[in-house]
Amino acid sequence: MLQKIIIDILNYTILDQNNGDIILKKNAIINVSEIQDIKNYDFKKSSIIQCSINNKEFVKLKYNQIIKQIYELIGDGVKIIINTKLNIKTIQKENEGFYYLEKLGISVQGVDSNKCLLKIVNQCKKNKFSILLKIKLINNNIINIII
């Protein structure tokens, strides 16, 4: 009888040995529940696999898209400004990396994935939103952020 082998490819990296052989290397799965622990990892060139905020699954899985959706959930430009250390203007500005959110009356400067992730988690924590993020790093390790 043939035995089926099922591999969860998300949790493994396939290493081609260039001789016809392949090796499956199990990726580390790391759970993070504190904002300060996020700083221990580099999220450049990472990809978001899953995101839910207040048990609502997000479809657009890019850092900047997620923060924009969080800002819409907050719905208050003043509250957003109070809870961030990043560069936000109360005028319409669409140069020097800024984009304007008309509904909130604020212009937000784009940042790299590391800063954006901290901004996402910080805004969720300050506004008492539950967040689940599953992120695959460039080294294929998986970071689960649950706050």
Q: Domain segments of the chain: what residues?
A: 28-146
Question: pLDDT value at position 129?
Answer: 97
CA distance 128 to 147: 9
Max Cα-Cα span within the chain: 70
Enter the pTM of the model. 0.83
Residue 16: band (very low, low, confident or very high) from pLDDT cuts 50, 70, 90: confident
Cα(129)–Cα(127) distance, integer angstroms: 6
Decide if pLDDT at 17 tops 90.
no
Assess contact for 70 and 53: CB atoms under 8 A. Answer: yes
Q: Tell me whether strands 88-89 and 106-109 are parallel, antiparallel or unpaired.
A: antiparallel
